[in-house]
Structure 1
């Protein structure tokens, strides 16, 4: 008997790395889905839509799930093949740690580089508001830069100089290349949620001119990113 595909709607802001992560997981698992894009003017309504007051969230056969990490692990339970979480306890632990590291550390680099640094902040703010009313488009670059600057400053990435940011990313990417070189992926020899989570953040880092240069200077990382993209980006 043919199994019916679940009805999945992903509510997102398309340029978010966390929404990208969920899209990649759905794509890799071969799960058809529709997207519902939230406008900047709708952000204040998010608390009424889900308990995290953030995107992404998904509606899966009428069941609403929020938080990108929780969504990805839940999808793994419902659709274990192809697997993104290793059965081996040690590798599973590594995947969990790297997924969290991507979300809680790499994220603040891309936030700072895309939305705080002036040469990229206007472009990405306008991309965020591209479907909004012209008045919203007009004020979004100013509001986004002020908001993200405060967030990045509180976290710490926004207090670093450009040279410090570049040096730290170089160190982190050198470390990632060491992991990738041993097995071809972040954990072991097969794609896992760690690869998807890290790639989603790096994809956004590449959206900064400086970030794109740093990634391009790490050939092993660039080759890995192309392999992950080929496996996980929607066609």
Structure 2
């Protein structure tokens, strides 16, 4: 039967799908990498109480997960590495083997160490717990203040190390509703530079 000339063509599914949660710092990391590389993709928002499509595709419940032309890739670090391999434009790694190694170490530190201080802030339910959480967070903020003193980015341009650290600290603004204290001038200046680089209206807006 001939198709009606006025009927809408069938929508072709995107070859790249991102299973994600809008507020997850790891999902935001992947969205930033996709945006920097200008890679088109489809978003599959995963709700906490309904992860059927995610489980059917990946066999587990955590996000982010990427469907890359049928290939299942779990974890923001592995997704970022795959995107760099398949879409090398606007590289997310610094040039040089040693700098790339340091970049990956800083990403891992952010994802595995800094995150615990961020979660302590989110879970603090009373003034005493909040005070202790701020004390733990301050240890990392002081280190980051030293890291960003006298420089724009960690390396000579924006890399995955910047993205990983930013998305963890950005969670303080978007979810915890906590602003980095004014005393951390270099760190705050870097956060504002990241905001401008990623074209965010404010630090309280999530990267789309």
Aligned to 2:3: none
Q: Which is greater in Rg?
A: 2
**In 1, Cα distance between equivalents of 2:15 and 2:105:** 30
Q: CA deviation at 1:42?
A: 1.6
> C-alpha offsets along residues 31-87 of structure 1, whole Å, 9 cap, x if unaligned?
122211011222476443315531111122232211111000111111122111123
Q: How far is the alpha carbon of 1:190 from its aligned partner?
A: 0.7
Gaps of 5+ in 1: 1-5, 120-159
**SS where residue 149 of structure 2 aligns?**
helix
Q: Which residue of 2 aligns with 1:226?
A: 192
The answer (yes or no) to whether the contact 1:109–1:205 under 8 Å persists in 2 is: no
Asked if 1:105 corresponds to 2:124, the answer is: no
Do the aligned partners of 2:32 and 2:163 also contact (CA within 8 Å) in 1?
yes
Q: Distance in 2 between matches of 1:215 and 1:43?
A: 37
Q: Secondary structure at the match of 2:50?
A: helix
8 Å contact from structure 1 (residues 10, 58) kept in 2: yes
The residue aligned with 2:151 is 183
State how far apart, in whole Å, the 1-side matches of 2:124 and 2:136 are. Answer: 16
Are the equivalent residues in 1 in contact too, given 2:94–2:156 (CA < 8 A)? Answer: no
Question: Which of 6, 9, 12 lines up with 2:17 in the alignment?
Answer: 9
Structure-2 separation of matches of 1:16 and 1:190: 25
Aligned counterpart, 1:194: 161
1:216: Cα distance to partner? 4.4
Matched, 1:53 2:61: yes
Q: TM-score by structure 2 length?
A: 0.79
Q: Which runs of 5+ in 2 are unaligned?
A: 1-13, 201-206
Find the residue that maps to 1:174 and give its secondary structure.
helix
**Matched residue pairs, number?**
186
Q: Which protein has the bigger helix share?
A: 1
The residue number in structure 1 matching 2:100 is 92
Output the TM-score relative to the length of structure 1: 0.70
What is the root-mean-square deviation of aligned Cα atoms in Å? Answer: 2.4
- What residue number does 1:163 align with? 131
